[in-house]
């Protein structure tokens, strides 16, 4: 495996499907993570980009079988933050040195929601200018909606595929949820010029290491700029995991798999942005730090007002539900420093891959 690692460190996309599977099943985590970390250091150095996460609302038109805010969950108190409130939260990020904000909500397709998001984007641009990053995570939309939000001032979009296996995708979604439309939306985002991201859940029921190796290949085939992925965690009100509780051993296995996916993705793609997601911290108090040490370079701390957080839980035991944004900022900064890295305060942290992709397209 040392020869495989050396090849992966030396050249992006040099791993075969079989080699990706072998690395995901390899039992030497320390060497795997060290190799992935070496690639990250070569690409970005010991620098972590922050994206303050604003969870705009938990209304959703989708009914995904794994999700706590699916439209059929009757146990949930629904909310939508007023645009002025969202702007206040985004301004807080900007004034405290966060380089970017993420606007996330359940998936809604309506003229009113489109206008609501556009108002928030334009409001952010008015006080922050172009030096402040705006990422959207708002699900499937028509291309003209994506175009409208891009024109308003957004420039990144994260649309997770959740799995690149169409058969598994169908198993975790009810009828009417189209894998093909998900792909078409990702293609629209790239065509329009967004910095485009996707990601998957790791450890889904019925998922294999072959599936996960193919997911990493999918990221490359789609020429993505950003990857946001994490372990699958059950939610008590989601049909996929109704009544299910993971044991301590299962939690540890999910965490390990999530970290290995970060590492192998970094070894394969080299110059993309990879997030250490909150799901890692749900499994271990230092899960996000472990994600950074396995090759991630982005953190997305929650800056939503505490009163809303309990109603935006995609999975059970989401951390930091009662931790205010100022406390979270200070804690996160210390956590990053504790592993010998530093936060890139005031920087957008655009993915290197996006710039290379744009340069290459102009050259051709």
Q: How far apart are CA 242 and CA 251, in angstroms?
A: 17
pTM of the predicted protein model = 0.96
Q: How far apart are CA 320 and CA 324, in angstroms?
A: 8
On whether the CB atoms of residues 284 and 317 are closer than 8 A, the answer is no
- As a whole number of Å, the CA-based R_g of the chain is 19
- Residue 72 tokens, joined: 């059929």
- Beta bridge mates, 230: 201
- Residue 172 tokens, joined: 């975790």
Task: Tell me how far the alpha carbon of residue 105 is from its chain's centroid.
Answer: 13
Write out the residue range of the structural domain in which residue 176 sits: 2-363
Q: Please report the pLDDT score of residue 313 as a whole number.
A: 87
Task: Tell me how far the alpha carbon of residue 184 is from its chain's centroid.
Answer: 19
Q: Please report the pLDDT score of residue 321 as a whole number.
A: 66
Q: Please report the pLDDT score of residue 135 as a whole number.
A: 98
* Residue of 268, 343, 342 whose CA lies nearest to 21: 268
Spell out the residues 6+ positions from residue 180 whose beta carbon is closer than 8 angstroms to its own: none
Task: Tell me how far the alpha carbon of residue 220 is from its chain's centroid.
Answer: 16
Q: Please report the pLDDT score of residue 169 as a whole number.
A: 98
Burial 211-249, CB ≥16 within 10 A → b, else e: bbbbbbbbbeebebbbbbbbbbbbbebbbbbeeeebeee
Q: How far apart are CA 294 and CA 260, in angstroms?
A: 7
CATH number, residue 191: 3.20.20.70
Q: How far apart are CA 269 and CA 55, in angstroms?
A: 29
How do the pLDDT tens digits run along the chain, 364 residues long? 889 999 999 999 999 999 999 999 999 999 999 999 999 999 999 999 999 999 999 999 999 999 999 999 999 999 999 999 999 999 999 999 999 999 999 999 999 999 999 999 999 999 999 999 999 999 999 999 999 999 999 999 999 999 999 999 999 999 989 999 999 999 999 999 999 999 999 999 999 999 999 999 999 999 999 999 999 999 988 999 887 889 999 999 999 999 999 999 999 999 999 999 999 999 999 999 999 999 999 999 999 998 998 999 888 777 766 666 676 788 888 999 999 999 999 999 999 999 998 877 766 5
Q: How far apart are CA 298 and CA 283, in angstroms?
A: 18
Q: Please report the pLDDT score of residue 186 as a whole number.
A: 98
According to DSSP, the β-strands at 100-105 and 133-137 are parallel
Q: How far apart are CA 163 and CA 160, in angstroms?
A: 8
- For residue 344, how many other CB atoms are within 10 A of its CB? 20
Q: Any idea what the Cα angle at residue 229 is, between residues 212 and 141, rounded to 5°? A: 105
Q: How many domains does the chain have?
A: 1
Q: For residue 244, what is the DSSP state?
A: -
Q: To the nearest 10°, report the CA torsion of 187, 189, 194, 198.
A: -70
What angle separates helix 2-10 from helix 17-25, to the nearest 10 degrees?
A: 120
Q: Please report the pLDDT score of residue 323 as a whole number.
A: 66
Report phi then psi at 324, rounded to 5.
Answer: -70, 165
């Amino acid at each position: 495996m040392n020869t495989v690692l050396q090849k992966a460190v030396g050249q992006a996309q040099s791993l075969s499907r079989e080699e990706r599977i072998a690395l995901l099943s390899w039992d030497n985590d320390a060497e795997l993570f060290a190799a992935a970390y070496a690639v990250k250091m070569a690409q970005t150095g010991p620098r972590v980009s922050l994206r303050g996460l604003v969870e705009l609302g938990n209304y959703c038109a989708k009914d995904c079988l794994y999700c706590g805010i699916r439209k059929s969950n009757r146990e949930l108190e629904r909310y939508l933050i007023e645009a002025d409130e969202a702007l206040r939260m985004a301004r807080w990020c900007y004034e405290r040195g966060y380089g970017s904000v993420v606007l996330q909500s359940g998936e809604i397709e309506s003229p009113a929601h489109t206008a609501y998001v556009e108002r928030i984007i334009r409001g952010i641009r008015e006080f922050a200018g172009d030096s402040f990053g705006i990422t959207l995570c708002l699900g499937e939309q028509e291309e003209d909606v994506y175009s409208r939000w891009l024109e308003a001032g957004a420039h990144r979009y994260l649309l997770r595929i959740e799995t690149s296996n169409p058969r598994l995708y169908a198993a975790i979604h009810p009828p009417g949820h189209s894998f093909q439309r998900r792909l078409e939306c990702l293609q629209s985002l790239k065509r329009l010029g967004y910095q485009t991201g996707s990601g998957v859940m790791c450890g889904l029921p019925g998922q294999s290491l072959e599936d996960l190796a193919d997911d990493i290949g999918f990221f490359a085939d789609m020429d993505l700029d950003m990857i946001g992925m994490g372990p699958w965690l059950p939610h008590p009100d989601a049909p996929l995991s109704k009544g299910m509780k993971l044991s301590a051993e299962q939690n540890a296995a999910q965490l390990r798999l999530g970290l290995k996916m970060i590492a192998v993705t970094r070894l394969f793609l080299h110059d993309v942005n990879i997030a250490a997601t909150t799901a890692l911290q749900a499994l271990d108090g230092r899960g996000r730090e472990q994600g950074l040490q396995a090759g991630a370079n982005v953190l997305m701390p929650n800056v939503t007002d505490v009163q809303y957080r309990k109603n935006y839980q995609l999975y059970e035991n989401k951390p930091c539900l009662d931790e205010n944004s100022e406390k979270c900022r200070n804690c996160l900064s210390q956590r990053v420093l504790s592993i010998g890295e530093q936060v890139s305060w005031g920087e957008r942290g655009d993915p290197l891959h996006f710039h290379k992709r744009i340069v290459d397209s102009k050259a051709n």
